[in-house]
């Protein structure tokens, strides 16, 4: 890959997607993306005529765009168009979820197949030739076609995460590792601290030239799979994923020291330091008034690393199966890096997860094609009570209701 044009270290553009509905009308999204990139000097600083561009959305699993679990196709489509305007010869779209997924189904349900067809982009498979690529202390399988990419643009969804607090710019890069190998990484780096440090290594090794964050509707609460969509109406862009994540952490009411991944990145001088952070754009005022609800399992990060595996045997925040939905396909059992999910000999469906083996990596949740696995936390009762009594930050709208709420651009009469 060729190096990107220099932009100010630590600059994060934050723009408002002013469609007035919290939705993803294409023209409004395209305008917000263009405005964000203009603050960085325009996309032409990154993409030059004749180049091959990879857009890497977060395609967590085969989930519809309105579930706010995956990057919305409108934003990806806007970027494809802008890349074409800059003269890109080829625009590729690719991501690889952790579990076993049919790629055709993944692309169709997440809306990427439609974007590719509309905009003559190419969907890239992660099932072909792979190349071992050095990532920190190990080598990871990355698709061979990645070597042909001139410009790597990461397009994450802003989501909360049970273990890493936040999944956005840096963690999105982990999706470049082909399929099941990601589950094995969870086995090797099995505490929040170890995983966070490893994710910084992966980000450093495969560092994108540009990150454009879909925070038009974020996911709060029990992300990355079971949270609540929360309209924020924001697009963020930065040449530095660390800086982008620091700004996103603010939306959770956190500073970088409270997010292990950011602590590691700052300690290792991988991206901008907090002192170098600079936010620009009409969305900046929203950063101080919008608050995403973090995962109620965030307390797991406070467990000292040497005690983590011992303590989590006793926590009840563990994946649970909805047997009304589960069809016994077995994908979760095959995906689990710890082989912690037995098959019930009678029903052929997943049995009780072994607390002694489970490392709370959430790969099973990610892998289930029927969304039959969710995670509950001991704090869920308190959260439900607080939401009912309207104490503290209000819960976002449910998966079916995507209207504005307190702390959103809509709710503030933007």
For ligand SF4, the closer CB: 217 or 359: 359
Q: Where are the alpha helices (DSSP H) in 206-293?
A: 241-251, 260-267, 284-289
Q: Residue 225 CB, nearest distance to ligand SF4 (Å)?
A: 11
Distance, CA of 324 to CA of 409 (rounded, Å): 38
Give the dihedral of Cα atoms 131, 161, 338, 326; nearest 10 deg.
-110
- Give, as ranges, the residues between 371 and 400 that touch ligand SF4 (CB under 6 A): 372-373
Listed in sequence order, the residues at least 6 apart from 86 whose beta carbon sits closer than 8 Å to its beta carbon are 43, 44, 46, 47, 48, 49
- Residue 302 CB, shortest distance to ligand SF4, in Å, is 19
Please identify which residue in 43, 151, 216, 362 interacts with ligand SF4, judged by CB under 6 A. 362
DSSP secondary-structure letter at 342?
P
| Span 264-323, contacts to ligand SF4 by CB under 6 A | 319, 321
Residue 232 lies near ligand SF4 (rule: CB under 6 A): no
Which are the contacts of 414, defined by CB distance < 8 A and separation ≥ 6? 16, 18, 233, 286
- Within 10 angstroms of residue 365's Cβ, the number of other Cβ atoms is 25
Question: Considering the complex, what minimum distance in angstroms separates the CB of residue 171 from ligand SF4?
Answer: 16
Report how far Cα 351 is from the mean position of its chain's Cα atoms.
29
As to burial, measured by CB atoms within 10 angstroms (0-12 exposed, 13-18 middle, 19+ buried), residue 102 is: exposed
| Options 258, 329, 399, 412; binder of ligand SF4; rule CB under 6 A | 329
- Give min distance, CB of 379 to ligand SF4, in A: 18
Q: Which of 359, 377, 395, 410 binds ligand SF4 (CB under 6 A)?
A: 359
Stretch that binds ligand SF4, among 18-26, 80-88, 111-119, 337-345 (CB under 6 A): 337-345
Buried-state track 305-320, b at ≥16 Cβ within 10 A, e below 16:
eeebbeebeebebbbb
Among 78, 210, 358, 409, binds ligand SF4 (CB under 6 A): 358
Q: Which residue of 336, 397, 404, 409 would you call a contact of ligand SF4, by CB under 6 A? A: 336
> Closer to ligand SF4 at the Cβ: 12 or 360?
360
Nearer to ligand SF4, 309 or 414 (CB): 309
Distance CA 197, CA 75 (A): 29
Q: How far is the CB of 193 from ligand SF4 (least distance, A)?
A: 17
Smaller CB separation from ligand SF4, 64 or 117: 64
How far is C-alpha 69 from the chain's CA centre? Answer: 8
With respect to ligand SF4, which residue has the nearer C-beta, 89 or 355? 355
CA distance 139 to 330: 28
Nearer to ligand SF4, 225 or 254 (CB): 225
Region from 64-72, 224-232, 354-362, 394-402 binding ligand SF4, contact rule CB under 6 A: 354-362
CA pair distance 158, 236, nearest whole angstrom: 10
Number of residues that bind ligand SF4 (CB under 6 A): 28
Is residue 153 within 8 Å of residue 82, measured between CB atoms?
no
> Which residue ranges make up the site for ligand SF4 (CB under 6 A)?
319, 321, 326-332, 336, 338, 340-341, 349-350, 353, 358-364, 367-368, 370, 372-373
């Amino acid at each position: 890959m060729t190096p990107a044009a220099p932009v100010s270290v630590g600059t994060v553009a934050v723009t408002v997607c002013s469609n007035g509905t919290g939705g993803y009308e294409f023209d409004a999204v395209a305008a917000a993306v263009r405005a964000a990139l203009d603050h960085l000097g325009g996309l032409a600083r990154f993409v030059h005529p004749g180049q091959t561009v990879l857009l890497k959305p977060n395609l967590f699993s085969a989930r519809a765009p309105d579930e706010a679990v995956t990057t919305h196709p409108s934003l990806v489509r806007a970027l494809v168009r802008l890349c074409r305007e800059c003269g890109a010869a080829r625009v590729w779209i690719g991501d690889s979820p952790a579990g076993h997924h049919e790629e055709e189904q993944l692309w169709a349900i997440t809306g990427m197949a439609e974007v590719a067809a509309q905009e003559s982009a190419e969907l890239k498979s992660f099932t072909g030739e792979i190349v071992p690529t050095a990532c920190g202390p190990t080598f990871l399988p990355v698709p061979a076609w990645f070597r042909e990419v001139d410009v790597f643009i990461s397009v994450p969804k802003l989501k909360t995460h049970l273990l890493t607090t936040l999944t956005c710019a840096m963690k999105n890069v982990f999706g470049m590792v082909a399929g099941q190998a990601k589950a094995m990484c969870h086995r090797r780096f099995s505490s929040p601290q170890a995983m966070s440090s490893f994710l910084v290594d992966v980000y450093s090794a495969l560092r994108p030239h540009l990150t454009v964050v879909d925070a038009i509707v974020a996911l709060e609460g029990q992300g990355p799979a079971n949270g609540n969509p929360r309209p924020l109406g924001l697009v963020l862009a930065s040449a530095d994923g660390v800086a982008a994540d620091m700004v996103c952490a603010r939306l959770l009411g956190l500073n970088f020291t409270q997010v292990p991944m950011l602590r590691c990145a700052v300690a290792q001088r991988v991206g901008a330091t907090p002192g170098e952070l600079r936010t620009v754009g009409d969305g900046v005022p929203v950063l101080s008034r919008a608050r995403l609800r973090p995962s109620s399992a965030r307390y797991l990060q406070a467990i000292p690393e040497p005690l983590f595996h011992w303590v989590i045997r006793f926590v009840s925040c563990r994946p649970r199966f909805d047997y009304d939905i589960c069809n016994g396909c077995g994908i979760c059992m095959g995906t689990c890096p710890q082989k912690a999910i037995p098959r019930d000999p009678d029903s052929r469906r997943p049995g009780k997860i072994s607390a002694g083996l489970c490392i709370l990596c959430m790969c099973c949740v990610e892998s289930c094609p029927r969304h039959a696995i969710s995670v509950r936390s001991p704090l869920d009762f308190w959260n439900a009570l607080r939401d009912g009594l309207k104490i503290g930050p209000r819960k976002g709208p449910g998966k079916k209701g995507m209207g504005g709420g307190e702390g959103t651009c809509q709710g503030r009469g933007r």
